[in-house]
Amino acid sequence: MSAREIREKIKAIAGEQASVMFTAEVVMVDGASCTVDYGGRRFTGVKLFSIGPEGKFLIKPAPGSMVTVADLSAGLRRDLCLLKIDKIEQLKIEHEGLVFDLDGRAGKMELSSNGVSLSGLFSQLARIIKGLKVSVLSPNAPSGPPTPDTIALVQAFETDLNRLLK
């Protein structure tokens, strides 16, 4: 019996499900797809786990991580998609102007909603604190309340913060 005949017998015993999923190692990630190595064979254009239009809900694996790949072409290895990821490098969700992005490679995160970002708000708060002005009632008396322009800045900060966070 030849190797081909043995392989066909094994496929017949195992059924079609044996060829539609496999575990591979991520070689590189590019946009919304990656290249994986499966037993010495490289497959490019493997779709990352993504729901909706490209990048709206995206999970990027770290190079070198192990992934479960689904073969949507039923064993022909033409339409491959990640189902499970061993080590996540980036998790990004975008929905109607809201962006939540955890980037393990950069060691940073982004949280924004319709142009208002958390990092921008904290920068704004730092500017307010650095420029804080209070009224002075008399030279030897304690300082008074913040000046109207400082109060306006704090109120604008509070409004933006409430637009972003629940």
Residue 5: both structure tokens together: 């005949």
Q: Which residues contact 132 (CB under 8 A, 6 or more apart)?
A: 146, 150
Confidence at 51, pLDDT banded by 50, 70, 90: low
d(CA 137, CA 135) in angstroms, rounded, equals: 6
Q: What domains lie within the chain, and their CATH numbers?
A: 3-88 (2.30.30.140), 115-164 (no CATH)
Name the more confident of 66 and 17: 66
| pLDDT value of position 46 | 93
The pLDDT assigned to 128 comes to: 87
Q: Where are the alpha helices (DSSP H) in the chain?
A: 3-14, 118-130, 148-164
Q: Which whole number is the average pLDDT over 21-38?
A: 92
Highest mean pLDDT among 12-16, 32-36, 127-131: 32-36
Share above pLDDT 70 across residues of the chain, in percent, rounded to a whole number: 89
Q: Indicate the pLDDT class of residue 12, thresholds 50, 70 and 90.
A: low
- 0.75 surpassed by pTM: no
User: pLDDT at position 25, please?
Assistant: 96
pLDDT band at 53; cut points 50, 70, 90: low
